[in-house]
Amino acid sequence: MNGNSVTVVGNVTRDPELRFTASGQATASFGLAVNRVWNDRQTNEKKEAVSFFDIVCWREMAENASESLSKGARVVVTGRLEQRSWETPDGDKRSKIEIVADEIGPSLRWATAQVTKNDRRGPAEGGGQAMNGGARPVANAAPSPSGGAAPTYDYGDEPF
């Protein structure tokens, strides 16, 4: 175990954005809000804090997340923290920490879900390498995003 593992449960803040690298690798990103509620022992008041995370997923999971998730869906995400750095056109250095998802699933605490297993696809059918059967969670029967070609974006291939 590498010691860089995180699990978060929260609500999707924006519909997943599906893009493709120059080599054709699917990637999707979406926001996740994680709420924490506690009682302040001194004032006996209920307190709340919200943390926001950017979630990134790759390959079949990216396509499944794009089809299955929408703003407001409650999900469980397990993955690793990864820092990404870049320079703006003005020369400013920027960096951010993202969660690169290993698994995404619906939270069943306050909802039900229907899971539909995808057919395994090989590289010739545009599916890349089949990983773990590609189960696709569908939380709260969220509508799939509108059709149309996804923009091409060179996000850099996922280093493994």
pLDDT digits (tens, 9 = 90+) for 66-92: 999 999 999 999 999 999 999 999 999
For the stretch 1-33, pLDDT in tens is: 568 899 999 999 999 999 999 999 999 999 999
- pLDDT tens-digit readout, 38-58: 999 999 999 999 999 999 999
CA distance 105 to 148: 25
What is the mean pLDDT of the segment spanning 101-126?
79
Length of the chain: 160
Predicted TM-score (pTM) of the model is 0.69
- Where do the DSSP E strands lie in 65-157? 74-87, 93-106, 113-117, 135-139
> Cα-flanking dihedrals φ and ψ of residue 125, to 5°?
-95, 10
pLDDT > 70: percent of the chain: 73
Q: Bridge-partner residues for 84, per DSSP? A: 96
User: Residue 137's pLDDT is what?
Assistant: 37
The CATH class given to the 6-139 domain equals mainly beta
